[in-house]
Amino acid sequence: MNEIKLFFSTLKSDYKSSTIPTKKEKRNCYYGIIGNMFRSLYSSISAPFIYPIWYMFREQITTEIYKDTSIREIQNLMEQNKTNLIKSKLKSNSKFLYWLWTYGDIDDPLGRGGMLLTYCNGDNTFWTRFKWSALRNPRFNINYMEFRTSLITDVVTIIDKRNFGIRYYSQGLGAWNYDGIYFKWMKDDKQKWYFIYENNNMNNLFYLGYTGLLLQDIGNPGGGRFETAYRKSTLII
């Protein structure tokens, strides 16, 4: 738990000391994250009950919800962060089916549902899909749309102590987790501020904030997505 304690200590120190973003802008970000966490909790509780309904009727729902559009078009719009347009297109077919769709699989809904080929030995059954989409990634569609920044325009780096010569592996987080602490604030073109904090070491990997912005910051069209994780790490030699 040392990583989490250090995170809150760092956040408190940053709130008191730095002036960009302002304290009000930081509080707005904190409130947004707290809201995301409660929404994630709701999704985690409801997904095990709603996902089976979507799975049972996925062919009918997919046929109806993608009228006058397509799976590929919606995926492209998702990558461009055009969430309002996505909602407009899908809700125009059925608001109720859109609600069910938020619990489903945006990636290959009639195939593997986005599951990795290595997940559960590659099995594509209801139970593997249930574990992937209702337990591991509950209500991923709505989370992917709502928990994102817009186009990043400004970056303020608070801490960057990464050692690019040392990296760690963790199941589900991959192998490109560089040693050290990284903390930065980012503003998007809607004038909202967000942060990403990471602390990777030989014992654990911890991050909280808007991921997907470590390689490309300003001009990243997809923005970042709110996530958090705390897992054991394995040193890559």
Query: 114-118, 144-148, 166-170: lowest mean pLDDT where?
Result: 144-148
Rounded CA separation 219/123 (Å): 38
For residue 52, the model assigns a pLDDT of 95
Question: Do the beta carbons of residue 124 and residue 141 sit within 8 Å?
Answer: no
Return phi, psi of residue 82, to 5°: -95, 65
pLDDT at 221: 54
pTM over 0.85, yes/no: no
Segment 60-74, tens digit of pLDDT:
999 999 999 998 898
Helix or strand run (H / E) with residue 210: strand 204-211
Q: Output the six-digit token pair for 36.
A: 């995301």
- Which tens digits make up the pLDDT trace of 188-211? 888 989 999 999 998 988 988 886
4-52 pLDDT, tens digit each? 999 999 999 999 887 889 999 999 999 988 988 898 899 999 999 999 9
Cα-based distances in Å from 34 to 29, 31, 213, 227? 9, 5, 21, 12
pLDDT at 151: 78
Name the pLDDT band for 100 (thresholds 50, 70, 90).
very high
> What is the pLDDT of the chain when averaged over all its residues?
86
Distance CA 103, CA 64 (A): 16
Question: How far is it, in rounded angstroms, from Cα 190 to Cα 187?
Answer: 8
* Spatial distance between the Cα atoms of 167 and 41, rounded to a whole number of angstroms: 31
